[in-house]
Amino acid sequence: MDAENTNHEALDAAARVPSESDLETLSRQLNRPVRDVVEIGARCICGNPLVATTAPRLSSGIPFPTTYYLTHPVITSAVSRLEAAGLMNEMNAELGENTDLAAAYAHAHEAYLAVREAIGERSGTGPVPEIAGVSAGGMPTRVKCLHVLVGHSLAAGKGVNPLGDRALEDIAEWWTKDICRCTGAWDTQAPAPSQDRSRHVKTQAIDPALKKAERAAARAAREAAALESDAASPKGTEV
């Protein structure tokens, strides 16, 4: 790993700053208004956003473990194809057998947490104890969402998340980082989806991906609590 990548962020500070035009592009890519995006995690060679970075606590106060959100429609649909083809099952099986891979993947989890903490600092969120130790996408031991891993790989640069890197290699026929695939990938003509035009600002503020992430965080917290109480109570005392 080269020295440049020890902070696990592909873009430098200036390139991470989202412009108004970036936010509009994100809204067009996702076909909904984006919220709580604090940085751009990765960009196309043309400059368009590939990954939106969300702070670990939303402006509503809700803890948000999923830092990187893949937004580019060409990449998201290519990754969906890999998921549909069963790649996550293969990866989970391999994680159970290949200890080197499992160790590298566990390291990716740590890198994810470290950079999320840095993003929390930069964005003014500060520490978010509710999601301490909880990353995303199934890390550190499972693969539950390839989009999360690919988002991490793009934002971190190659060599940080082995399974995200592998998924990127597997979508090479549809997208590679050296070729711009933006033209026609989203509607650039219609008005950008805007929260000002929305009649349902409150309900849209919590979109399905966000709800899913919240449930995952709550589940992880419960599992962690259960593990602790298992460790604390002697075996055979369950009723």
> Which residues are near Zn ion by CB under 5 A?
44, 46, 48, 180, 182
Residue (29 or 67) nearer to Zn ion, CB? 29
Kindly report the backbone phi and psi dihedral angles of residue 3, in degrees, each rounded to the nearest multiple of 5, phi listed first.
-60, -35
Residue (47 or 159) nearer to Zn ion, CB? 47
Taking the complex as a whole, how short is the minimal distance between the CB of residue 213 and Zn ion, in angstroms?
27
Taking the complex as a whole, how short is the minimal distance between the CB of residue 51 and Zn ion, in angstroms?
13
Taking the complex as a whole, how short is the minimal distance between the CB of residue 72 and Zn ion, in angstroms?
8
Residue (6 or 188) nearer to Zn ion, CB? 188
Residue (78 or 216) nearer to Zn ion, CB? 78
Report yes or no: 71 and 29 within 8 Å, Cβ to Cβ.
yes
Which amino acid, one-letter code, is at 160? V
Residue (189 or 237) nearer to Zn ion, CB? 189
Taking the complex as a whole, how short is the minimal distance between the CB of residue 28 and Zn ion, in angstroms?
13
Taking the complex as a whole, how short is the minimal distance between the CB of residue 33 and Zn ion, in angstroms?
22
